[in-house]
Amino acid sequence: MSDSLDGGAPVPPQTTRTTRVWERLAELRGPAVVPRPLDARALAALAANPGCRRRALLDGAGVDKTVLAAKLGSPAAFGQSQFAFMRGNAFEAKVKSDGGRELLRLLGVEEPGTVRLPDLAAAGPEGRAARTALALREATAAGEWALLDHPMLALEVAGSPSYLEPDAVVVHPDGRWTVVEIKSFPMIDGSADASKVGAAARQSAVYVLALERVAALTEGAEVAPHVLLVCPKDFSNLPTASVVDVRKQLAVTRRQLTRLTRIEDIAAALPEGVTFDVESCSADELTVAVESVPHAYAPECLAACELAFHCRDRARDAGAVETLGRSVRGELGSLTTVGAVLAAARGEAGDAADPTVEALRRARALRDEALATARTPKAVAECPC
């Protein structure tokens, strides 16, 4: 028998499946807990580590990982300061003041009065995303400049919808759409800190990817493969801009997000009764729940995930080689623990024909030889110290 609503027409299978997924995620999060939205920064971090099922599930369920980490006894030690947050908001307000005159000047538009400023207000993220898509189509069809302030874009990630809010999107008269990213870090002599620009590019690539979904359904529309990065000029508060090519970040993000296991599949593998309700569960209950989901810790997680310190402690307790970095993990092949690596190097375990084991034993022999030479009386006597 097909599903139906109030005895009416059958509900499409896709709608029914999505509803069930949302219900399951609500159970995992806690029925009384407000879901934490999955923003572009979190999506960029998730795309950088697509093998981490733990983060994929918690982010998809809208669990507040900052609160969760604090209850687990491993609070996150990073995040934007209140001062930086206020400074960023003040700078963005300056860039967008007077109908976006400063921003439009950076785009080469001298007459702001000719630019559309559509109202994107609507009920809920779904309504705002639909209103944004409509405004983009109308501006493209009219062949006019349009500035969309904080539009809402939808992107499906691992089978779960996410709603993203870029600082702005500009529609050009020729149908091109450009993402605008406003940051408060300075651009000195025409260039900014490379690491901060890289982080902004990865974040913006997520917006471009979501915008491409709308452009694919809009005749004459094309999303620019670059973003306009707006920052303070030198040590002033005067806005300046730089065009940042995000094609590489876009390709990586697209590939990594497609590798994510569907959230419903991860949830289906959980033991019965597991919940991440940070409001009603004890620290011990939350620990058991978190440990029931596999993780893929790497040192890079420390700068991108609120649960990184908890996962690092567990990885260290297990002696996992991942704590030494992804490059080391890749070099060690089937040796997954520090104990197994040391045993192979000492000749106590491992296949001697394995190139990794052979390299480890050779390295140990060279080390022993070097230490033996350093301990000889002659070496000590000739030491210049």
State pLDDT tens for residues 154-178.
998 877 788 999 999 999 999 999 9
Question: Which ranges in the chain belong to alpha helices (H)?
Answer: 13-29, 40-48, 53-61, 65-71, 82-106, 124-142, 194-215, 247-258, 263-268, 283-291, 308-317, 326-331, 338-346, 355-375, 377-381
Is residue 324 in some structural domain? no
Query: Do 226 and 159 have their domain in common?
Result: yes
The residue out of 245, 279, 298 marking a domain boundary is 298
153-157/146-149 β-pairing: unpaired
Query: Do 72 and 86 have their domain in common?
Result: no
pTM value?
0.77
**15-34 pLDDT tens trace:** 566 667 778 888 999 888 88
Tokens 């094609």 -> residue:
247
Query: Do 232 and 91 have their domain in common?
Result: yes
Is residue 133 in some structural domain? yes
CA distance readout (Å), 345 to 4, 93, 370: 63, 60, 16
Query: Do 155 and 222 have their domain in common?
Result: yes
Query: Do 35 and 120 have their domain in common?
Result: no
**102-155 pLDDT tens trace:** 999 998 887 777 899 999 999 999 999 999 999 999 999 999 999 999 999 999
Is residue 148 in some structural domain? yes
Q: Measuring CA to CA, which residue among 38, 277, 251 is closest to residue 158?
A: 38
Query: Do 277 and 253 have their domain in common?
Result: no
For residue 190, is pLDDT > 70? yes
Query: Do 90 and 156 have their domain in common?
Result: yes
Query: Do 118 and 222 have their domain in common?
Result: yes
Query: Do 173 and 280 have their domain in common?
Result: no
Is residue 1 in some structural domain? no
Mean pLDDT lowest for which of 31-45, 73-87, 159-173, 312-326? 73-87
Strand order in the sheet with 146-149: 146-149, 168-171, 176-182, 222-232, 239-245
Range of the domain at 339: 332-374
Query: Do 245 and 99 have their domain in common?
Result: yes
Task: Indicate which CATH number applies to the domain containing 200.
Answer: 3.90.320
Is residue 11 in some structural domain? no
Total domains, the chain: 3
Is residue 6 in some structural domain? no
Query: Do 240 and 274 have their domain in common?
Result: no
For residue 80, is pLDDT > 70? no
For residue 13, is pLDDT > 70? no
**47-63 pLDDT tens trace:** 888 889 999 999 988 99
How long, in residues, is the chain?
Answer: 385
Query: Do 227 and 271 have their domain in common?
Result: no
